[in-house]
Each structure stands twice: as structure tokens, then as C-alpha cells.
Amino acid sequence: MGAHVTSAPPPAAVVVLAAGQGTRMRSAVPKMLHEVGGRSLVGHVVAASRSLDPERLAVVVRHQGEAVADHVLALAPETVIVDQDEIPGTGRAVQCAMAELDARALAAAAAEGIPEGQEGRGAGRGLAGAVVVVAGDTPLVDGDVLADLLAAHHAEASAVTVLTTVVEDSTGYGRIVRDHSTGDVVRIVEHKDATEVEREIREINSSIYVFDAAVLRDALGSLGSDNAQGEVYLPDVLEIARDAGGAVRAVVAPDPMTVEGVNDRRQLAALGAEMNRRVLDRWMAAGVTVVDPATTWIDVDVDLAQDVTILPGTQLHGATKVATGAVIGPDTTLTDVEVGLNATVVRTHGSLAVIREGASVGPFAFLRPGTDLGKNGKIGTFVETKNAEIGEGSKVPHLSYVGDATIGEHTNVGAASITVNYDGVKKHRTVIGSHARTGADNMFVAPVTVGDGAYTAAGSVIRRDVPSGALGVSAGSQRNIEGWVARRRPGTAAAEAATAALAGDTEDGATSVLGAQAQAEHAGRTAAAAAAADKPTPPPPSPGVATLDGLSEGPDAR
Ligand code: UD1
Ligand code: CA
């Protein structure tokens, strides 16, 4: 999150502790893989660690280690995965990591031809330089926090530097016991091992440290597990290092939230909210309008341009990217969606879609993966799209499903239309050209193509290709069976209304509710209609043949 002035040589290694059980989460999912801000807990720590550009990055796993290891390797392929054995504790985790890192440093030195035991980087007993250790469950820690700690460690030539913070309620944490004359750290005492007096201490261990590699290696060698939890405690290294004559110092993080760990779901929610607050704060500072921060959630990897407006109830997830002038929301959730300049997206749920410059989406649209809406295009109300390329200026305004389709430019898809893409076994594509006008309530039975400048009639089931410039019609012509309601639904309100209307027609033609066309038909067909009453409608004319009776003489088929 922005450049920082402090600088120190990159550490020899960063060790991320991710082998804990996470019992308090009460979850089948390893604690490290729970997410805040659209990224796993360990993912946040790995990102912060990588920003230090360490020579080696190690992540210690054990509980459901394979899932955590796979996840970490996907994020940072250079990671050295270390397996912690059955001995529990943060100290044991670092013992396992150092054994592995030392072995690698020695192997690398040997490969470079530096004789074992000789002074110099990578030679001697293994790793040399600074080793940063971070718990994998502190998602708000960022690269700046780690860089500042590392800088302080180097500036004071300390043996160990621990990041601490002061909290209101220090229950459960390791307490920092200081030497009051020098301010140096004497030791860290875990809550369960602390005396009543020690429990009053409100300065706590964050589980983030910088160690000199040699000091760490020596101290790890004399760690025990004679404590309330029977675990090998990493914090015990501090007392051992001090007793050996090293300078053990603390840096206090001003904001406890920054170093707070997630142990249960309450902390997961609290830190998720804090992360969101920070992300929104950063975007508002960068020129984004967030109308209601309380109902707006933005993941850490989202990218917003200046003068984007986010309306209430909006969630932007994953790698969503929004260009200048776009307005998102209200009540919109986008995951991995790209939104172009000045586009508007209202009450929409979308993922893996592209909405190009000036386009409009919603309200109530569902954009599924592979949707690509062209410049100034429109996906309107109650429309679902999937694998659909909708060209520049083309519109799907109302109540439609467009899946596995390619639509050209400046085409209008009539309301309530469906691409029938699934034959029960396979999916097929619908292709509609440019400047086409398809009628309302069409079914495009894929695979099917409608050419450039073609029209289709309302209510058509388009099973065969419609050539460019043609009108595709599959609906039969309409037949009105006069007097049907009076005969077959006598006594109903409909029948009474019809009778009254027809009586009005005969008495006073000027008040007719029928249009000119219907009146002409009515006059011409009254006698024939009575004869035809109740007989089934004849089969519709086959599509594509010139039998457009009713269409050719009447108003536009659409
Ligand atoms: C730890 C510290 C405590 C500190 C607190 C800050 C110890 C003994 N205590 O306590 O001083 O105030 O963090 O949040 O270190 N882990 C392993 N292997 C293990 C056990 C833990 O890798 O065998 C990892 C966990 O995955 C986690 C981190 O170490 O990322 C801390 O473990 P956790 O059990 O949460 O320690 P706390 O009890 O919180
Ligand atoms: Ca913890």
C-alpha cells in the first residue's frame, strides 16, 4: 500500500508459521485458508513477506498441510514448504524451518564452491543475516510493517527485535516483560504461564520477529517445553538470546489491529471489516466516491480508477477492475469483472465478465462467465448472459437468456428471447449478425445463425438459419374464433364484457374498442367464424416459405 522511506537489506529468509491446528475456528477448512478481503489469511502474510524480497521464503505447514502447501505454492512458487513434525509449538515450527533453510544454504554454498566452515554469506553453519518470522494468521500485516521492523532491527544492531502492541484486553496473548531501566525485552511470558502481576501487562507479543540467524540457531538449540501447554515456545528464544548477551528489543505497533491474529470466526469478521475499512479509505483517498462505506465491500486486489462511483450495497471481488466515470450499484456484486469507462451497472450479479465503455447493465441482470458486452451496449432488466459476446451498440433489453452466443454490432434482441443452447447433451452456439432486429419472445434453437440486417417475427422459434436481410417467421398466422367466449364460457364476467362490447359496436360503431383492421376482419368473417368455431387451428405454414398471410397485410409482424 504505497512506497515507504525506510529501507534495509533484504532478509536472508522470511519464515511464515502456518502449521497450527486452528482449533478455535471450528472448521473443516484449515484456518490459514479462511479469507478476508478476498484473500486467504496466509495469502496476506505471504504477500507482505514477498514484498521484503527475501532470499528465501519458507512456510511451515502441518495440519492439513497439503492443502495449505498447494495454496501457497500457487501464490508464490518459490516458497520452501517445511513440514513440522509431531512436536507442537511455534518454537518447533521455527526449528524445522531453520533446519531446512540451513541445509539449503549449505548446499547452495557448496554448489558455489565455498568450503564448509568458511566465513561469508551462505557458508559456515547455514543461513546468515536477518530472519523474519511471521505468524500466518495476521492478515492485516503489510510489507511496510515488516520493512519498518527490519529497519529498526538493523539500525540498532539487535540480536532479536519483536513487534509488540498495546491492547485493552491482553487475555490469551504472550506478555512482554521489559527491563525498566533499558526498555529492553527480558522475556515473553504466555498467558497460561503468567503470574497475576504479569497478566496485568497490556503490551503483547504480535508473533512477528526479526532474528539474527546465528542467534536464532543457537537459541533454538536450547528450547524446552516445560510450560503450561507442553509446547516448544518460540518466544522463549528472546530470554535465551538475552542471557547469551544479545540485545533484545521491541518495536511497538501503534495500531493493534495491524498485528492482530485470527483465532476464531469473530476475529475473522472483525479483521475482515477492518481490512475493508482500510481498502475503502485508500480508494476514497485516490478519488473514488464510496457513497456508503458501511455497505460497500471491496477486495484487496480490486482496481478502481479515479472518479468511479460506488453506490450502496456493492461488493467488488477478486480481480475486478473499474475504469474512470463508471457507476456501480446500488446492490451489485461483481467478481473478476472488468468495467469500462463511464459504464453503469445497476443491481447486477456478475462474474468473469467484461462490460465495455459506455455500456449499461441492469437493473436485475445476471452476468455469468464469458459475457463480453460491447461499447455502448446494453444488457437490461431480468437478463441472464453466459459465454456471450454482444457487440458494440447491441442491446438485450428485457427478460432474456443469451448463452453461448455471438451477437454483432447495433443489433437489438427482442424482449423475452432465449438462446436454446442445450440439446440435453451438448451446448451449441447462436450467432446473430450486425444491425439485426429480432422479434420479441423468440427461441433461437442453436446451432443457428441469423444474418446481418435480418429480422425475425415475434414469437418465432428460429430453428433454421435466417439469411441476411430476410424476415424469419415460424409463428402461425393468428385466427380469431368469433363468439367463442360467449358459447364456451357462458355466464362468466368475460362473456358479459364481450357481449356488452359487441352490443356497443352494433349500436354505435364510433365507440368500438376494435382497431380498423379488426373491424374489417370482424365484418368480413362473422359468418365464416361461426362455422369454424371450435375446430382446431390449422398447422402453421412452414418457415421460410412465402406464406405471410396476416403479416403482409397487417401491421408490422413485430
Ligand atoms: C502466539 C504467541 C503469543 C502471541 C500470539 C499473538 C507462542 C507460544 N505464543 O500465541 O506470544 O501473543 O501468538 O497472536 O508463540 N503454529 C505453527 N506450529 C505450531 C503452533 C503454531 O506453525 O505448532 C503457527 C500457527 O499456525 C499460527 C502461529 O504459529 O500461525 C501462532 O500460533 P497460535 O496457536 O495462534 O499461537 P497463539 O496461542 O495465538
Ligand atoms: Ca494466534
Q: What pLDDT, in 10s, does the model give residues 62-107?
A: 977 999 999 999 999 999 999 999 999 999 999 999 999 999 999 9
The ligand with the least distance to the CA atom of 21 is: 1
* Residue of 189, 207, 208, 268 to mutate, ligand 1, most atoms within 8 A of C-beta: 207
Phi first, then psi: give them for residue 170, nearest 5 degrees: -95, 10
Is residue 16 within 8 Å of 136, Cβ to Cβ? yes
Nearest residue CA, atom 3 of ligand 1? 174
Q: What is the C-alpha separation between 260 and 273, in angstroms, rounded?
A: 13
b (16+ CB within 10 A) / e for 233-251: bbbbbbbbbbeeebbbbbb
What pLDDT was estimated at residue 34?
97
How many Å lie between the centroid of ligand 2 and the Cα of residue 342? Answer: 44
H or E element in which residue 107 lies: helix 90-111
- Blockwise average pLDDT, block size 10, the chain, 558 residues: 62 96 93 97 98 98 92 98 96 98 94 66 79 97 96 97 97 96 97 97 98 98 96 98 98 94 96 98 98 98 98 98 98 98 98 98 98 98 98 98 98 98 95 98 98 97 98 90 94 95 65 66 63 54 39 36
Q: What is the C-alpha separation between 8 and 129, in angstroms, rounded?
A: 12
All three cell numbers of 409, joined, read 454490432
The ligand with the least distance to the CA atom of 23 is: 1
- Closest ligand 1 atom to residue 261 Cα is 14
- Closest ligand 1 atom to residue 232 Cα is 8
- Closest ligand 1 atom to residue 32 Cα is 26
> pTM for this structure?
0.86
Question: Going by C-beta distance under 8 Å and a sequence separation of 6 or more, which residues neighbour residue 120?
Answer: 109, 114, 128
Q: How crowded is residue 381: how many other Cβ atoms within 10 Å of its Cβ?
A: 16
What pLDDT was estimated at residue 112?
85
Is residue 41 within 8 Å of 139, Cβ to Cβ? yes
Phi first, then psi: give them for residue 458, nearest 5 degrees: -55, 145
What pLDDT was estimated at residue 552?
35
* Residue corresponding to grid cell 524480497: 53
What pLDDT was estimated at residue 550?
35
Residue 368 per-residue DSSP state: -
- Per DSSP bridges, beta strands 297-298 and 185-189 are unpaired
Q: What is the C-alpha separation between 212 and 130, in angstroms, rounded?
A: 5
Of the residues 398, 410, 435, 522, which is catalytic?
398
Question: Is 71 annotated as catalytic?
Answer: no
H or E element in which residue 335 lies: strand 333-335
Q: What integer best gives the mean pLDDT of the chain? A: 91
Residue 25 per-residue DSSP state: G
The ligand with the least distance to the CA atom of 189 is: 1
278: left (phi over 0), alpha (psi -120 to 50) or beta: alpha
What pLDDT was estimated at residue 516?
74
Ligand 1 lining (C-beta closer than 6 Å): 17-20, 60, 84, 88-90, 92-93, 135-137, 173-174, 188, 190, 204-207, 233-235, 261, 263
How many Å lie between the centroid of ligand 2 and the Cα of residue 205? Answer: 10
What pLDDT was estimated at residue 533?
58
Task: Give the C-alpha distances (Å, rounded to integers) separating 533 from 331, 485, 522, 536, 539.
Answer: 52, 11, 14, 9, 16
- Per DSSP bridges, beta strands 39-40 and 418-420 are unpaired
- Per DSSP bridges, beta strands 289-290 and 309-310 are parallel
Is residue 413 within 8 Å of 431, Cβ to Cβ? no
Amino acid occupying residue 414: G
75: left (phi over 0), alpha (psi -120 to 50) or beta: alpha
Task: Give the C-alpha distances (Å, rounded to integers) separating 151 from 24, 236, 278.
Answer: 34, 23, 24
b (16+ CB within 10 A) / e for 490-504: eeeeebeebeeebee
SS3 106: helix
How many Å lie between the centroid of ligand 2 and the Cα of residue 206? Answer: 9
How many Å lie between the centroid of ligand 1 and the Cα of residue 135? Answer: 7
What pLDDT was estimated at residue 522?
67
How many Å lie between the centroid of ligand 2 and the Cα of residue 261? Answer: 5
- Closest ligand 1 atom to residue 18 Cα is 26
* Residue of 15, 71, 90 to mutate, ligand 1, most atoms within 8 A of C-beta: 90
What is the secondary structure of 171-238 as a DSSP string? Answer: TTSPEEEE-TTT--EEEEE-GGG--HHHHT--EEEEEEEEEEHHHHHHHHTT----STT----TTHHH
Closest by alpha carbon to 98, among 19, 236, 9, 214? Answer: 214
How many Å lie between the centroid of ligand 1 and the Cα of residue 56? Answer: 22
